[in-house]
Amino acid sequence: MSAVYALYPDGESAQRAVNGLRAAGFSTGAITVISGEPLEDHEFFDVNKSTWMWYIASAGGFIGLASAAWLTRMTEVAWPLRTGNMPIVAWWPNMIVMFELTMLGGIVAAVVTMFVTAGLPRRRPALYDPEIMDGKILVGVDNPPDAAVVERALTVPGATIKRT
């Protein structure tokens, strides 16, 4: 596996490199950008923003709600024991269990979605450079058809170009 990438000291030069790659015909999906922090105010960071996570979390919450309703009702009916003059299926207390499992379902669904869609965990990062953690921003392309084209597009003042 080969890759060509460059490290940039700031968001502006990284943005220029991304624009260069786009001009050279690379789609946004083919360009890899890696940063040590979220860079909310740059255009290149605005990719892949849309997510179904909110809906999946709601669905997870609904599953939690339904399973809690089933669990409480089923177990109360399975061996009906009377306590304190309350009905066998007492919805007031069951609602508390249902609330907690709704929230648990939502949280777990959101976290699972996050792990799956963010591609975690994985054995080793495909394209990576430890210098990212010192504030550098990596822009690169995995398995480029023509490395020279990529290098040319990545050449922006301040860039350090690397190949693997």
Partner 1 sequence: MPHKWGMAVDLDRCTGCGACVTACHAENNIPTVGPAQAARGRAMHWLRVERYWEGDFPDVRLTFRPVMCQHCDAAPCEPVCPTYASHHTDEGLNAQVYNRCIGTRYCANACPYSVRFFDFFNPQWPKPLHLQLNPDVSVREVGVMEKCTFCVQRIRAVEIDAKAEKRELKDGDVKPACVQGCSARALVFGDLNDPESEVSRLSRSPRGSKLLEDVGTLPKVTYLERQTQV
Partner 2 sequence: MSEASARKLGDDLLRPLLRTSWRFYALVAFLGSIVLTGLCTWAYQVYNGFGITGINNPIFWAFYITNFVFWIGISHAGTLISAILRLVNAGWRRPVTRCAEVITVFALMIGALFPIIHLGRPWLFFWLIPYPSNRQIWPNFRSPLVWDFFAINTYLTGSVLFLVLPMIPDFALVRDKATGVRQKVYAALALGWQGTPKQWHRLESAMSIMAIAIIPVAVSVHTIVSFDFSMAPVPMWHSTMFGPYFVAGAIFSGIAGLIVAMAALRKFLHLEEYLHPVHFQNLGKLLLLMSLLWSYFVFAERLTIWYGNESSEVAVLNVTQKGSFAPLYWTMVVCNFVVPFFIMSIKRLRTIAGCVIASFCVLIGMWLERFLIVVPSLGHKYLPYAWGTYRPRPVEIIITMSTFAAMTLLYTLFSKFVPIISIWEMKAGEHPSPALFPAATREHALGETHA
Query: Binding residues for partner 2, per CB under 8 A?
Result: 9, 32-41, 44-49, 51, 53-54, 57, 71-72, 75-76, 78-79, 81, 83-84, 86, 90, 93-94, 96-97, 99-101, 103-104, 106-108, 110-111, 113-114, 117-128, 130, 132-136
DSSP code for 25: T
Longest CA span, the chain: 82
Nearest alpha-carbon partner for 36 in 4, 1, 5, 11? 11
Nearer Cβ to partner 1, position 93 or 125? 93
Nearer Cβ to partner 2, position 48 or 152? 48
Question: Degrees (nearest 5) of the Cα angle 31, 148, 6?
Answer: 50
Please report how close the Cβ of residue 155 comes to partner 2 at its closest, in angstroms.
Answer: 20
Tokens in use for 32?
């890899």
Interaction residues for partner 1, span 28-87 (CB under 8 A): 81-86
Pairing of strands 3-8, 31-35: unpaired
Interaction residues for partner 1, span 125-164 (CB under 8 A): none
Please report how close the Cβ of residue 100 comes to partner 1 at its closest, in angstroms.
Answer: 15
Cβ atoms of 5 and 138 within 8 Å: the answer is: yes
Nearer Cβ to partner 2, position 39 or 149? 39
Q: What are phi and psi of 35, to 5 degrees?
A: -140, 160
Query: Contact residues for partner 1 (CB under 8 A)?
Result: 81-86, 93
